[in-house]
Structure 1
Amino acid sequence: MSVLLLEAFYGGSHKQLVDLLKESVEDCVSFTLPAKKWHWRARTSALYFMQAVPASSSYRVLFTSSVLNLAELVALRPDLARLKKVLYFHENQLVYPVRKSQERDFQYGYNQILSLSFLSSISTFMKTMPDHRPKDLDQLIRPKCRVLHFPIRFPDVTRFLPAHKRLRHSVWCDDIHAPATQSHVQSSAPSCPELTIDSAPPEKIVSVAGPQQSLEPMSVTPRQETLQIQPVSRPSGDERGSLQPLHIVWPHRWEHDKDPQLFFQTLLKLKERQLSFEVSVLGETFADVPDIFSEAKEQLVDHIQHWGFMPSKEDYLKALCQADVVVSTAKHEFFGVAMLEAVHCGCYPLCPKALVYPEIFPATYLYSTPEQLCKRLQDFCKRPQLVRHHVNQVNLHAFSWDTLGDSFRSLLGADSDRMLTEEHMS
């Protein structure tokens, strides 16, 4: 039990990362809370874990996500203060998009600063305090920082691929398992996954930032929207490359920060122009689903192939493999597991030229305006062979567990303190 894994929101990418570490790193024990009522988890989970985690002299590393207020937990459980602490950020509450600035709850960003947070956003965020603002917090944190990307274990999807994708799948697999040229990238950009290390014992804190979507089913079944639609019969083999309409997939959480409004407005423009396309809207749903989803379901009913969260990982992979284009319209994104997994399943990605996307995707996959997104999809609707014959240019292997696993094992392993101290000094 030398590695203590705590997760206050055990679902989505939070669950995916914890499960991967439990499976791949020796000597781990985990304590979790269900993935619901996020705001309450952020406010009160420290009290829960204070009581749930038994005292043990064998704990050496504490790994948790930033939903937990780590500073509170350490204050409540002084025996955990001696551990090296690894804190993973799945989102940045300092800049998380809100509809009105008055709606931003200062407490969530403040919790992340107390736990250890984001360099370039701190000074702006702290200006919302009326007076007695702390100074130079970013300078205290910056020397501890390095970047370690979220690791993805890409599954073998060969059996799910249509013929026109299977021809190129061996190329994608070669990319994923190619020898890694580096295990992490140095950066201080707030949109990029960030690993922060304090090498001076006993107060060691590590922070990492990452993604938003998972292929794994949640531990608690979320509210689901289901639309019964007879699947369109598909030609077999290579006929799909010329006969079937373009299949667009949107595999993100059904929440406003993923900007579903822009996505559905774009599809409705394609419909108005009488273009042929199918759409699959996947991803998890929670208590508050934006109204645009029910409105779009009604208006796009003749174009829908799949609608709603798929609790079966296999079904989710099959849906991705049958799609042609995967779209992100996110206004807040740290990494984007769903986008990279869709690329692994042979989808052509279209992403905003903003946030973390330019760090991961070549320029050919980026759009700058809603008009550019619509134009790209319009062209693909008219000529779907452009994406079906396209060879993926995304460097998937850089984000695979095969590439990053040793870095995470080193971080959580017996020699991690010594190795990280040497890196910091070099």
Structure 2
Amino acid sequence: MQEENSSTMNVLLVEAFYGGSHKQLIDLLKENVEGCIAYTLPAKKWHWRARTAALHFMQSIPASSSYRVLFTSSVLNLCELVALRPDLASLKKVLYFHENQLVYPVRKVQERDFQYGYNQVLSCLVADVVVFNSFFNMESFLSSISCFMRRMPDYHPKDLDKVIRPKCQVLHFPLQFPDVTRFLPNHKLLRRAAEVSHVDGVSALQGQQQHSQDDPQASWPEELASQARDVCLNPEPGRGKLDQEEDLWRSPSNPENQGAEGEKDVMAKGIKGVEGQTKPLHIVWPHRWEHDKNPELLFRTLLKLKERDLDFQLSVLGETFTDVPEIFAEARVLLDAHILHWGFLPSKDDYFRVLCQADVVVSTAKHEFFGIAMLEAVHCGCYPLCPKSLVYPEIFPAEYLYSTPEQLCKRLQGLCRRPHVARRHNIKVNTTAYSWVALKEGFKSLLTGQGYHCS
């Protein structure tokens, strides 16, 4: 498929898997960057797209002297394309990583097809700029190259990571957050009003979370880079942040509890009615129904809550594909009394309406390089609980992270007993930093090609 935006195109967008986040990014660039033309393939049969898309694009992309920049995702074997089409080799070649195949989880090591990761390494070697959607994605890829190449029986290449690293940069995936005000329940509207009234303080907090715009990699904490390399972290000792918040709220010495009309008093009144006190905690899990999202951990945890006679409501959203893990059918029966929504919601309004009604959003992922669904849920006012690994420490403060299945169960157990704690909590995640508004200049600069000369 091709779509032309003007008669003088100079940015060639090539996407071998035009679906999901890949489609969202291509559409954003087409709509907002002048002079783009896109060539895409439908988001089907991912493995064949990775193997053969270059041959298709060799024939479908017409020759043109107007091209200046070639932008593609790492699904495409860029090395093959520029070898088959030497006229494209002279362009500024930008490779964007939504995910990387060197650490993408497989059930058995034997199942990892060497060719996919090998294609990505070759693509990096011929690209001029290699862009990752997160620091975790970049560090996990670069630090895995040497080990990955040792799977070759002999003649192992050396120091490929050192060749590729100077080309690398991070430009987070840009989200277009919708206005969800009309979907928000009263307690979330009250909480949002309280957050706006403290905008100066919130801005200061968010500023601490943002990486330097001039040199984001210079400010990338070594601790998080280490997490990207090691993935597994030690359990976090001590009591959880929510327990401490609850103690503070209950304490008569808390000045905010002494005023009759303080902001928290107003918020408390807004959630102490039927909606805030008697309505069970609403948990949402908005992820793909695949093994790498670890649904087994989610349902195992929820069944423990059920066994302990804890009340909660559940929405399991996300897309399904050919091979749905069996645990979903089992959980549908065992958790039937708790289920509010089950399955993919094709309507964006319906999807965001459920997120707005939910209290807590949970990730149990074994693989996550960015996490669009979690940020969308936070935008809708959900309290996040994420693994203390993968990309999550890069985006979410420590109070929203759990290290072990036991910690996840304990956190959810506490929230089931005190759902009002989640409902009144001011979420300390700077979603604005991941919006298209904040990131568009970076993408526009990447695609202008100004000042670029191919060596």
AA aligned to 1:88 is Y
Residue pair 1:168, 1:391 contacting (<8 A) in 2 also: yes
| 2:146 pairs with one of 102, 115, 123 | 123
SS at match of 1:62: strand
AA aligned to 2:99 is E
Find the aligned partners of 1:171 and 1:12 in 2 and give their Cα distance.
Answer: 34
Q: Which has the higher contact order (CA 8 A, sep 6+)?
A: 1
Q: 2:85 maps to what in 1?
A: 77
Q: 1:284: how far off?
A: 1.2
Residue pair 1:259, 1:331 contacting (<8 A) in 2 also: yes
Q: 1:83: how far off?
A: 1.1
SS at match of 1:417: coil
SS at match of 1:6: strand
AA aligned to 1:110 is Y
Find the aligned partners of 2:419 and 2:48 in 1 and give their Cα distance.
Answer: 45
Residue pair 2:92, 2:449 contacting (<8 A) in 1 also: no
Q: 1:360 maps to what in 2?
A: 395
Residue pair 2:142, 2:161 contacting (<8 A) in 1 also: yes
Residue pair 1:97, 1:331 contacting (<8 A) in 2 also: yes
Higher percent of residues as helix = 2
Q: 1:229 maps to what in 2?
A: none
Residue pair 2:184, 2:380 contacting (<8 A) in 1 also: yes
Residue pair 2:227, 2:389 contacting (<8 A) in 1 also: no
Report 1:258-337 matches (<5 A): 258-337=293-372
What's the TM-score once normalised by structure 2's chain length? 0.78
- With over 3 angstroms needed to count, the CA separation of the structure-2 counterparts of 1:106 and 1:414, relative to structure 1, is closer
Report 1:171-186 matches (<5 A): 182-183=212-213, 185-186=216-217
Q: 2:261 maps to what in 1?
A: none
Q: 1:368: how far off?
A: 0.2
Find the aligned partners of 1:252 and 1:401 in 2 and give their Cα distance.
Answer: 22
Report 1:89-108 matches (<5 A): 89-108=97-116
Q: 1:169: how far off?
A: 2.6
1:24 matched to 2:32:
yes
Q: 1:168: how far off?
A: 2.4
When structure 1 is superposed on structure 2, of 382-391 and 87-96 the one drifting more is: 87-96
SS at match of 1:64: strand
Residue pair 2:54, 2:80 contacting (<8 A) in 1 also: yes
| 1:65 pairs with one of 57, 62, 73 | 73
Q: 1:391 maps to what in 2?
A: 426
For the pair shown, the structure with the greater C-alpha radius of gyration is 2
Find the aligned partners of 1:109 and 1:181 in 2 and give their Cα distance.
Answer: 29
- With over 3 angstroms needed to count, the CA separation of the structure-2 counterparts of 1:59 and 1:51, relative to structure 1, is same
Q: 1:190: how far off?
A: 9.3
- Structure 2 residues without counterparts, runs of 5 or longer: 1-8, 125-129, 131-140, 229-269
Q: 1:238: how far off?
A: 5.2
Q: 2:260 maps to what in 1?
A: none
Residue pair 2:282, 2:359 contacting (<8 A) in 1 also: yes
Residue pair 1:69, 1:111 contacting (<8 A) in 2 also: yes
- With over 3 angstroms needed to count, the CA separation of the structure-2 counterparts of 1:50 and 1:97, relative to structure 1, is same
The C-alpha deviation readout for 1:328-357, integer Å capped at 9, x for no partner, is 111111111111111000000000000111
The C-alpha deviation readout for 1:64-122, integer Å capped at 9, x for no partner, is 11111111111111111111112111212011111111111101110111111831110
What's the TM-score once normalised by structure 1's chain length? 0.84
Q: 1:415: how far off?
A: 2.7
Residue pair 1:120, 1:190 contacting (<8 A) in 2 also: no
- With over 3 angstroms needed to count, the CA separation of the structure-2 counterparts of 1:163 and 1:375, relative to structure 1, is same
Find the aligned partners of 2:203 and 2:355 in 1 and give their Cα distance.
Answer: 18
Find the aligned partners of 2:451 and 2:306 in 1 and give their Cα distance.
Answer: 55
Find the aligned partners of 1:11 and 1:191 in 2 and give their Cα distance.
Answer: 29
SS at match of 1:9: strand
| 1:54 pairs with one of 55, 62, 65 | 62
AA aligned to 2:175 is I
The C-alpha deviation readout for 1:358-415, integer Å capped at 9, x for no partner, is 1110000000000000010010001000100000101212212121111111111253
AA aligned to 1:415 is Q
Q: Matched residue pairs, number? A: 377
| 1:141 pairs with one of 149, 164, 168 | 164
Find the aligned partners of 2:49 and 2:164 in 1 and give their Cα distance.
Answer: 25
AA aligned to 2:83 is A
| 1:114 pairs with one of 113, 122, 126 | 122
- With over 3 angstroms needed to count, the CA separation of the structure-2 counterparts of 1:301 and 1:406, relative to structure 1, is same
Residue pair 1:283, 1:308 contacting (<8 A) in 2 also: yes
The C-alpha deviation readout for 1:105-147, integer Å capped at 9, x for no partner, is 1011101111118311101111111100101101111222222
| 1:342 pairs with one of 374, 377, 387 | 377
AA aligned to 1:185 is P
Find the aligned partners of 2:299 and 2:95 in 1 and give their Cα distance.
Answer: 35
Report 1:8-47 matches (<5 A): 8-47=16-55
- With over 3 angstroms needed to count, the CA separation of the structure-2 counterparts of 1:96 and 1:190, relative to structure 1, is farther
- The CA RMSD measured in Å over matched residues stands at 2.4
- With over 3 angstroms needed to count, the CA separation of the structure-2 counterparts of 1:287 and 1:181, relative to structure 1, is closer
Q: 1:239: how far off?
A: 3.0
AA aligned to 1:130 is P
SS at match of 1:263: helix
